[in-house]
Amino acid sequence: MFMSAYLARHFIFTLTALYHQKGQTHHMPHDTTYQPTVSILIPARNEEKVIRRILQRMTELTYPKEKLDVIVIDDASTDQTNEIAEEFAKEYEHIRVVHRSLGDGGKGKPAALNSGLKYVKGEIVYCFDADYYPQRDILEKLTACFKDPKVGAVQGRVTVLNEPDTLVTRLVALERTGGYRVDQFARDNLGLIPQFGGTVGGFRRSLIESLGGWGVDMLAEDTDLTFKVYLAGYKVQYMNDAECYEEAVENWRSYWRQRSRWAKGHMQCAFRHLWPLIKSKNLRLREKVDGFLLLNVYFVPILVGLAWILGATLFLIQPPSWIKILWATIPISVYSSVGNFAPFFEVGIGAYLDGRERVYWLIPLLGLTFVFNMLICTKALIDLCVSKITGKKRYAWAKTLHNSRGNCYIDNYNKVK
Amino acid sequence: MVSLNKSGSCVVSLLAKNRQSFRHPKVRPNYLHMSVGIGATAIMFLIYFPLCQILNESALISITIFNFLFVFLLFPLEGPLFRKVYLLVAGNIVGLAWHFIKSSFGAASVSYLGADAFKIITVIIGPIIDFVWMVSVWSLGLSMLASAKRRNEAKMGG
């Protein structure tokens, strides 16, 4: 039942994105577009290679500068990040820098964002990572969603900037395509739970303040906030046309570190929000079902891995009668191979809707990332259980390292233009 | 004001009606192509029927799953019918070839590794291996349809 629900979910999302999309419409006020004051938080820790790129972009945004306030949070950087940010702050009035000392800083992105939140003046608070590169009119597109008073948070689309670099960046780009163009888009269309992704998105300031800011004890503070928003009676809206480029991880080691943090964080959220989600009176049944599946999504690879191991073991041994019930794992292992065509379908259709041509050849290789994620999720669960039993924190915020290779794609694009 | 962004989606600002609308190109499922696909699959199974002594159930199951996925998920998409049928037939040939190669390995594993190894290959690893060819051929099909669509759009654009 559990596995079939995921199978059905993938197919429903993909077919919705393909055939039954409603289009995204936002009502605007009379005579003028809706443009409240906006603050953008950019947490940066040792990002000297990429910070210039996003700050330059902040000067090129089409949103009225008198309503825009950009706050760079220098999270105790030991490189040139601070100097570069100060350089921009001196030149542009709407850019400010907040410094965190060596004692306070370096405790992760949520802590940095909370320190920046104290200085926010705008009605809407956005967050962009230092390695991101948004569209010029992204704020207009995202802010339009807040005209609806039920919308508490908004999420834009993330696309990979350095896709041609390595096999890992290509596979991450495919995952992103499926995740945003199909998954998030369909959730928004079906009135389910689009997820706030931690960046390229924002909140009403009043809401984020009432929720206590970003959860410093959570490794997936974005998922945590998504559920807090829904439990508070608001919703998250996904805006597919509000695009932003990111530098994806380039090798398997970085991929492991990043996904491991996501897996642990997501599992933390599952333990924290599952019961409040079920009990909540603010959510409809379909939102509860989607929320339940979303919270448990990182347990699926573990279940599939277990089914494979158990299935193979049962073939090799003569099992006693009490263990025969475990034969039920065999259909799961069969499902996980043949039935699990659904995520590949989702990614393929995402690329098709984006008008891509050659990337489909890489889709079978996503099987590799699935096996990799099986190991990552199993390790994450073991770490969480051990830390729960021993009381020792076995996980800490692992910063994703960025180089500046994405810059060359932007330079080339600007030259061509 | 109507403009087209890089992903091909249409951004429409209808300020006269005080709203901003983002519309994406809607795909209409091609039911006629899907019906032809079902017919083509039925014909292929009529051909397989006399081959039942050579083909075992696992081969038939995997080819049936492939045909089901291909006809219901790829045939409704935009693209020339001839190409879709060609890809379906090619996929079936790959599936048959794959089955014979897998059976040969299975037979070799019985001789050298014993009956347990054969069972594992057939029941546990078999679906995973079948899945590799299914996804690969389906991806190849989608790639060819996307290329055809792109060329068609380029022609239409002059």
Whether the Cβ atoms of residue A222 and residue A195 lie closer than 8 Å to each other = yes
> Over 90: is that where the pLDDT of A69 sits?
yes
> Over 60: is that where the pLDDT of B143 sits?
yes
> Over 50: is that where the pLDDT of A40 sits?
yes
Residue where the block lists tokens 């807090």: A228
Q: Is B2 on the interface with A (CB under 8 A)?
A: no
CB-CB neighbors (< 8 A) of B142 in chain A: 348, 351-352, 360, 363
CB-CB neighbors (< 8 A) of A352 in chain B: 77, 142, 145-146
Percentage of chain A lying above the pLDDT 70 cut = 86
Average pLDDT of chain B, as a whole number:
76
Q: What pLDDT score was predicted for residue B29?
A: 86
Q: What is the pLDDT of residues A144-173, one digit of tens each?
A: 999 889 999 999 999 998 888 899 999 999
Q: Which of B27, B62, B124 sits opposite A19 (nearest CB)?
A: B27
CB-CB neighbors (< 8 A) of A345 in chain B: 69, 73, 138
Q: What would the two tokens of residue A39 be? A: 């603050």
d(CA A94, CA B89): 62
User: The dihedral of CA B5, A196, A343, A24: what is its sign?
Assistant: negative
Q: What pLDDT score was predicted for residue B6?
A: 43
> Over 70: is that where the pLDDT of A345 sits?
yes
> Over 80: is that where the pLDDT of A311 sits?
no
> Over 50: is that where the pLDDT of A61 sits?
yes
Flag whether the pTM goes above 0.80. Answer: yes
CB-CB neighbors (< 8 A) of A344 in chain B: 135, 138-139
Structural domains in chain A plus CATH codes: 1-10+37-409 (3.90.550.10)
pLDDT band, residue A30 (cuts 50/70/90): very low
Q: Residue B127 and residue A333: Cβ atoms within 8 Å?
A: yes
> Over 50: is that where the pLDDT of B9 sits?
no
> Over 60: is that where the pLDDT of B18 sits?
no
Q: What would the two tokens of residue A333 be? A: 């292992």
Whether the Cβ atoms of residue A172 and residue A247 lie closer than 8 Å to each other = no
Min distance A208 CA to chain B CA atoms (Å): 26
Q: Is B56 on the interface with A (CB under 8 A)?
A: no
Min distance A341 CA to chain B CA atoms (Å): 7
pLDDT band, residue A369 (cuts 50/70/90): confident
Q: Is B42 on the interface with A (CB under 8 A)?
A: no
- Helix A300-316 and helix A366-390: axis angle, to 10°? 100
Higher pLDDT, B150 or A298: A298
d(CA A71, CA B72): 50
Residue where the block lists tokens 């060329």: B151
The full DSSP string for B56-70 is -HHHHHHHHHHHHHH
Q: Is B3 on the interface with A (CB under 8 A)?
A: no
CB-CB neighbors (< 8 A) of A62 in chain B: none
Whether the Cβ atoms of residue A183 and residue A360 lie closer than 8 Å to each other = no
Tell me the C-alpha to C-alpha distance, in Å, between residue A270 and each of A273, A304, A349, A382, B130.
Answer: 5, 19, 29, 15, 34
Min distance A367 CA to chain B CA atoms (Å): 9
pLDDT band, residue B11 (cuts 50/70/90): very low
Q: What is the pLDDT of residues B86-95, one digit of tens each?
A: 999 999 999 8
Range ranked top by mean pLDDT from A6-15, A120-129, A355-364: A120-129
Kindly provide the ipTM of the predicted complex, given to two decimals.
0.76
Q: What pLDDT score was predicted for residue A270?
A: 93
> Over 90: is that where the pLDDT of B61 sits?
no
> Over 50: is that where the pLDDT of B19 sits?
no
Q: Which of A30, A316, A364 sits opposite B136 (nearest CB)?
A: A364
Q: Is A28 on the interface with B (CB under 8 A)?
A: yes
Min distance A335 CA to chain B CA atoms (Å): 9
d(CA A387, CA A119): 35
Q: Residue B131 and residue A341: Cβ atoms within 8 Å?
A: yes
Residue of chain A minimizing CA distance to B23? A23
Higher pLDDT, A195 or B54: A195
- Find the DSSP H helices in A317-365: 329-334, 341-353
Q: What is the pLDDT of residues A213-250, one digit of tens each?
A: 998 888 889 999 999 999 999 999 999 989 999 988 88
Q: Residue A357 and residue B143: Cβ atoms within 8 Å?
A: yes
pLDDT band, residue A342 (cuts 50/70/90): confident
Q: Residue A367 and residue B124: Cβ atoms within 8 Å?
A: no
> Over 70: is that where the pLDDT of B8 sits?
no
pLDDT band, residue B12 (cuts 50/70/90): very low
pLDDT band, residue B13 (cuts 50/70/90): very low
Higher pLDDT, B154 or A275: A275
Whether the Cβ atoms of residue A123 and residue A209 lie closer than 8 Å to each other = no
Q: What is the pLDDT of residues A254-305, one digit of tens each?
A: 999 999 999 999 999 999 999 999 999 989 999 999 999 999 989 888 887 7
> Over 70: is that where the pLDDT of A23 sits?
no
Strand, coil or helix: A132: coil
> Over 70: is that where the pLDDT of A21 sits?
no
Residues in chain B: 158
Q: Residue A373: in which H helix or E strand, if any?
A: helix A366-390
pLDDT band, residue A417 (cuts 50/70/90): low
d(CA B95, CA B83): 18
pLDDT band, residue B23 (cuts 50/70/90): low
Q: What pLDDT score was predicted for residue A328?
A: 59
User: Which segments within chain B are labelled E, that is strand?
Assistant: 2-4, 10-14, 19-23
Residue of chain B minimizing CA distance to A20? B26
Min distance A362 CA to chain B CA atoms (Å): 8
Q: What mean pLDDT do residues A68-86 have?
A: 92
CB-CB neighbors (< 8 A) of A13 in chain B: none
